Amino acid sequence: MISDNHGLVFFGYNNMFIHKRGVENVILSQAQASPFAINYYLHWDKVSRVYRYENLICIGIKKNLFWLIPFNLVLFRLKKKNKKLFIHSHSPLMSILSVFETNLLTVHDALYYLTKSNSHPLKNLFYLIEKLLYTRVNFVHFISNYAKKESLFQKNSNKFIIIPNTIHFERIVKKACINENSFFDVLKYKILVIRSIEERARIDLLIELASTFKNKNIEVLVAGKGPFLYYYRDEIKRKEILNIQLLGYVSDQNLLQLYEECNLVLMPAEYGEGFGLPIIEGYFFNKPVIASNKCAIPDIIYSKDYLFDNTANSISERLDFVLNNPLQDFKAYYDKTFSNKIVLSNFLQLYNMLR
């Protein structure tokens, strides 16, 4: 049994009240599996602050040139307060610069792989940083086989585990209220895309695809924000394409409604996908998902029949496949592979093994 004065510290990125979709929700899920008496979450913030979010004591470190000093001072104080401190990091930079070694590092997408994929001018520096990173951690968790393969983790080391992501919707879906107004045109076949609006998400493909649907009874809604949001909105307006809409940021409540209402989830990607969360979210709502044959997506997808090459024609072919074949039990696939029960049980075992 773990002592009352043993604590778990997560390293992350954003304030939980204004968090982006992604890492913060993964940390919230993993915190549900924690066997430790106290759970902390350290992240960068606009101001230094302490607050509680679910079962986490969250400590925001003001992000400026001197953030490293208060960050490590907080760690010293937590170490003094807790007989044992277990660090589970999602932040490579915090792990490298922490005064204490990281017990467990979660790798979503490897640093060098990401910078190499987008031809970052400092990719060789990130190669060295990632190599250094693995010397500062005791054990590594990868979210997919693909994330492990693309990393610079030591090939002869067995100090790693692969556990997929789960979703936070299981904990909130019963609380959600469905609005009376539908997001979609109820008379059309409804395609939902959940993506950050950036180059690697291939929004250009969706626009090309939607232009081929001008005379078809199909509607595409894209939820997500990002640096190319207004660029692609202007592109859609310029081309006068009426059956695709970029919604921008969507709250969890509205996202739940979108999943409930859609007929199909579509996920395009070019690189930088160590997992593919919208895929398993679609399966949770028992929706068919078609996705790019890229990155970790083939590891996650229900069947290779639902993979497309990154062309509008290939997407149309996979869409026809879904329309002309019986729907499978995607929810059952989610339940046995990605559910909170399965994934968090694996994390509980991992924490108990490493503590």
- Which domains can be identified in the chain, with CATH numbers? 6-166+339-354 (3.40.50.2000), 170-337 (3.40.50.2000)
* pLDDT by 10s per residue, the chain, length 355: 455 678 999 999 999 998 767 899 999 999 999 999 999 999 999 999 999 999 999 999 999 999 999 999 999 999 999 989 999 999 999 999 999 999 999 999 999 999 998 889 999 999 999 999 999 999 999 999 999 999 999 988 999 999 999 998 888 775 555 566 788 888 899 999 999 999 999 999 999 999 988 767 999 999 999 999 999 999 999 999 999 999 999 988 899 999 999 999 999 999 999 999 999 999 999 999 999 999 999 999 999 999 999 999 999 999 999 999 999 999 999 999 999 999 999 999 999 999 8
> Contact, 85 vs 7, CB < 8 A?
yes
Report the amino acid identity of residue 224: G
- Name the phi and psi angles at 107, rounded to 5: -105, 115
* 125 contacts: CB under 8 Å, gap ≥ 6: none
Alpha helices in 44-144 (DSSP H): 68-81, 92-97, 111-117, 123-135
Q: pTM of the full predicted structure?
A: 0.92
Per-residue pLDDT, 21 = 73
Q: By the 8 A CB rule, do 91 and 83 touch?
A: no
Neighbours of 238 (CB within 10 A): 8
Using alpha carbons only, what angle is made at residue 149 by residues 144 and 155, rounded to the nearest 5 degrees? 120
Q: What is the pLDDT of residue 1?
A: 44
pLDDT at residue 321, rounded to an integer: 97
pLDDT of 342: 97
E-assigned strands of the chain? 6-11, 38-45, 49-53, 56-62, 84-89, 104-107, 140-142, 160-162, 189-194, 218-223, 244-248, 264-267, 289-292, 307-308
Q: Please state, in angstroms and rounded to a whole number, the distance separating the CA atoms of residues 75 and 67.
A: 13
Cβ atoms of 350 and 100 within 8 Å: the answer is: no
